[in-house]
Structure 1
Amino acid sequence: MNVKEIRKLFPILDQEVNGKPLVYLDNAATSQKPLPVIEALDQYYRQYNSNVHRGVHTLGTKATDAYEGAREKVRRFINAKSTQEIIFTRGTTAALNIVAASYGRANLQEGDEIVITYMEHHSNLIPWQQAAKQTGATLKYIPLQADGTIDIKDVEATVTANTKIVAVAHVSNVLGTINPIKDIARIAHQHGAVVVVDAAQSAPHMKIDVQDLDCDFLAFSGHKMCGPTGIGVLYGKRDLLERMEPVEFGGEMIDFVELYDSTWKELPWKFEGGTPIIAGAIGLGAAIDFLEDVGLDHIAAHEHELAQYALERMSAIDGLTIYGPKQRGGLVTFNIDGVHPHDVATVLDAEGIAVRAGHHCAQPLMKWLNVTATARASFYLYNTKEEIDQLVVALQKTKEYFGHVF
């Protein structure tokens, strides 16, 4: 399936914004949805909308089969050993909070260390700050190289016998850095620590094999990978999840309830309290089908080509600074000298081009970069080199608008 064929499956792309054809380059924030996902959601609500697990009627059975079928699709997508290791959540943030609140607070104490990096999204930072405050553990940061990458020697120097948790992004949502998760996991496990991976920016774009990575927990969101908003996944090794307590209590997650005590369902349902995110899971399952039909290797190669092309074209613009390494995921974060990123994004929007501007939920990284904010263009399977050319022309117009000399 080529890009032209792929684009036809995304109805939102066929429109004008401010009188210009839409160029959507904000995929790291959220992706657009293809017809197979939209149709799967429509079919659920039109034909078999029902609660799952408890009902014995036909609609309930059909909904349950679709919901649990989506869980199996996720298991296969990341090569987990069992569907018991796949927990549906509201998104990456909720998944990481479960690990920090349940595993973290039960296994951390004063003197223990939580190791993270300066490039973490707030969702993989603030939960660990809170866990550290409540347990007396200490946060430690792996240093970054000048280009925003991690040197394995620094990982080896930072992780110690006191380290209990290493939490790291697979791909930075600002720098595009692709971190060596497998090597980090090896070092962490040598010291008896568990590894938590924020895969929000990697799961949509490349093949993930949790068994090969040997990570202990991994989290990602559906809305960044052609799926609906409000659905995400927490993967955890079964032996760890078995020992963890739920963080939400109520219906669905219970086994027996007495007047003064209760017991929990088996995995994965003990972490899915209340009516689950049924439509979201079904939509995520459809998104996985779609991505696998296109091919994750094809998507990764396409985005790599776009990122390298964008780096080449944008590097030729005087006064434009690009952040992050040469080898990166499918995004480019940048600033134009003397122009606030919000102003850059506003001018680009007038040209029909959607980019992100701000601190990207990564304020410590902004401080490390010595900036208050940046602009970010992020690519996906439906973007083209022609759209990058349009971005470059619009950036030149932005410089012109704010009085810069070519």
Structure 2
Amino acid sequence: MTKTIDLDEQARDILKMNDRGGYTIPTKGLYPYQWNWDSAFAALGFAQFNCARAWAELETLFSAQWADGMVPHIVFHKADPGYYPGPDVWGGTGPIPSSGITQPPIAATMARLIFEKDQSLGEEHMRTLFPKLRRWHSWFMQWRLDQGAVCVTHPWEAGRDNTPEWDAPMARIDPTDVGEYVRRDTQHVDGSMRPTKYDYDRYIWLVQMGRRLHWDQQKLLDENPFRVADPTMTFTLLRAQRDLLAMGQMLGLDVDGIAEEIEILEQGAQTLWNPEIESFDARDAHSGEWANCVSNASFLCWYAGLDSEGQTKQLQRVLDKVQYGVPSHDPESDKFDGRRYWRGPTWAVMNLLIGLGLEERNHPLAERVRIATKTLIEESGFSEYFDPTDGSAAGGQGFTWTAAVWLSWAGRT
């Protein structure tokens, strides 16, 4: 019990340490700005001891919402020359300097979880956030669907930057004209844990293309060679739409059309089932080719409210192969790398989303995922991610979202 209490205190201290006044950075140095889905997780963490601060986190994020409804993946509240690519590279067109792409839409789900803890005081906050969440979800429905599944237009959008799912579409990009640049991430973390220069050249090429097109979504739709129907985006938006509908009905707000959008996304999710590997998978929207990858995103189906006997078999297989949670890539794949970013490591935040979905469906593997995550944090601290084979810490340390996962889910008794 003493150890749990100590970790509770450490987790709260991390959130406070990374608090920049209304928004939270993921960790000092490596990520000095406000990240979209990081902030949604941070809000859930704050809600365990300070609901007012939790609402402020989400409201600060949505203060950067663009005129078209998009909520950017990075908000550059204060200049920090130690980060690349910064606002001068992105050339975002929102009310606050920001990136030109988005991230997985988990904010509505986190807002609902916070609202359920704080209904009396949270109603005003929820009424303010609701139309902003609705506009963001509508932006996805307008610009990012392929056969009803949600696409990413940059690997950073999925939050899973260098997953093997992007390998084939990334290989078709020729970044020879990207120019010289200096990465900052490898100055904070060992390069063996980060995306390679091969990947980064293509990331920057896509950023430069977006800026050249002034982040015009129609032009990007016509020109961008990277457009992948993604389980992360599809399952998180489907879940977010369900939560938005529930909150809107609870508050007596206008929810016309949301139920129909949910049906579209449910049908779209089924287009991501790859019968060859018997798993939900990413699909190149240009070529129609499968990634042929079982990733941790494949297991977000339950979070989205979808049962899958086939995915249960995959989850059982994967959990039997590694000791520490759900790896970001299939441990039996020749592309698996247990310490390189999204090519194998376990992420507490993905375990949280997977675990919540499993719990809500009364799935027999639910507690196994939570206990594995709990053990990871107890043994290796509040790391950005972890090697799923030995549980060792990797990436940034003192990480906001891992602290939030502990407080809201993994550390409960």
TM-score scaled to structure 1, two decimals?
Answer: 0.24
Q: Which has the larger radius of gyration?
A: 1
Q: Pick the structure with more helix per residue.
A: 2
TM-score scaled to structure 2, two decimals?
Answer: 0.24
